[in-house]
Amino acid sequence: MYTKDGEKYFIVDAHVALWDARPENQRNIHGKQFIDCFYDYHRNLSPEEEVWPYEDYLYQGSERLMHDLFEIGYVDHAIFQPAHLGEFYNNGFGQTEEAFQLAKANPDRLTYNHHWDPRNGEAGLEQLRADAEAYGLKGVKLYTAEWHGESRGWKFDDPWAHRYLEVCQELGITNIHVHKGPTIRPLDRDAFDVADIDHIATDFPELNFVIEHVGLPRLEDFCWIATQEPNVHGGLAVAMPFIHTRPRYFAQILGELIYWIGEDRIQFSSDYAIWTPKWLIERFVDFQIPEDMTEYAPLTTDQKKKILGLNAARMYDIPVPAELDILPAPETLVGPRQPEAADLGATAGV
């Protein structure tokens, strides 16, 4: 929990990972390229005092994660969103067993999501069923640009992807997190295009599609899709650190999201260990839209509370102390804000 100026904030970090990018786990040059790209994001978008030594960045381990998130980071609950990257790392990038065992030992603090790849066909569907039972999955994290043999990405209009989503729905895996944001070397930028979300959000209205990184650098595409698909949500991983390096750009991102989809469908994420939550939470609570950006309304404390934790807590049925919860009971929740037709016309210039 974070407290500032008499206000208390329940914090859910909706996108964290435990990874191993040490040389002995790198399968080829691409493993080094991937973690080096992560480190460039970390070094270039963090305050100087928050930059880690490169060696520490390759592997954090459970003890440091618990310290960074829960002992000093204000986080009340965090959700693992792993990337497998089996073509680049011998034992995978995200450390499944370590992360799951940590979540199992700390169920009040951690939720473990897993991953699947539709290019694994029927065998992958059987594995998904086994994983759902073994890990008690409520969600998955998908990397549409992940390499697989000769393939360098997949899209949700693939019939196999549709079958995997049908199985997710059958198994009660209702939260589908998808990396649709900046590319990471050596992955292909266009394989992260957000356009295919429109199709599946329509076909699977009972599933939540959390678009991690809110489609950046395709924010406008994301907003136009999400405003017409009420089951599409935005994860702020990667967007958050611009609060430090480009605060006006961050104000634009957040202002557009609140205008198009409202504050009820936006989730805070530190993207640990690319960044740590402590400084992001502190700066977000203090952040305000610049007065001269009059196209956006000022941020309210209630909006910040929803984004920092209450939205993700509701999605994952994470208990929130009554004194920290400002959301209505689930049966009284109304749908997210949709722009009026006049708003859309004004925005589009028609």
CATH number for region 2-348? 3.20.20.140
Asked if 192 contacts 145 with a C-beta cutoff of 8 angstroms, the reply is: yes
Percent share of the chain, pLDDT over 70: 93
- The pLDDT confidence band at residue 348, using thresholds 50, 70 and 90, is very low
- The pLDDT of residue 335 is above 70: no
217 vs 278: CA distance, rounded Å: 25
**pTM (predicted TM-score):** 0.91
Q: Which two tokens stand for residue 343?
A: 């708003």
CB distance 234 to 257 below 8 Å: yes
Determine the pLDDT at residue 329.
53
pLDDT given at position 342: 39
Residue-averaged pLDDT of the chain: 93
Digit-coded pLDDT (tens) for 87-120: 999 999 999 999 999 999 999 999 999 999 999 9
345: pLDDT strictly greater than 50: no
The pLDDT, as a whole number, for residue 189 is 85
Q: What is the pLDDT of residues 47-62, one digit of tens each?
A: 999 999 999 999 999 9
Question: Which tokens hold the place of 303?
Answer: 């909006």
Instruction: Determine the Cα–Cα distance for residues 348 and 350; give it in Å rounded to an integer.
Output: 6
Asked if omega into 217 is within 30° of 0 (cis), the reply is: yes
Q: Which string of DSSP letters, residue by residue, matches 261-293? A: H-GGGEE----BTSS-HHHHHHHHHH----TT-
Q: What is the average pLDDT across 313-323?
A: 95
CA atoms in the 13 A half-sphere facing the CB of 175: 28
pLDDT at 24: 97
pLDDT (tens digit per residue) in 17-37: 999 999 999 999 999 999 999
Instruction: Report whether pLDDT(330) > 80.
Output: no
What are 158-208's pLDDT values in tens digits?
999 999 999 999 999 999 999 998 889 999 888 899 999 999 999 999 999
Q: Tell me, what amino acid is at 185?
A: R
CA distance linking residue 205 with residue 93, whole number of Å: 31
Residue ranges of domains in the chain = 2-348
Q: What is the CA 336 to chain-centroid distance, rounded?
A: 19
Distances (CA, A) of 151 to 52, 91, 117, 154: 34, 20, 12, 8
Residue 290 has pLDDT above 50, yes or no: yes
Of 140, 137, 109, 112, which is closest to residue 10 (Cα–Cα)? 109
pLDDT score of 183: 87
pLDDT at res. 190: 87
Tokens 């069923």, residue? Answer: 129
pLDDT digits (tens, 9 = 90+) for 219-268: 999 999 999 999 999 999 999 999 999 999 999 999 999 999 999 999 99
138 within 8 A of 177, measured Cβ to Cβ: no
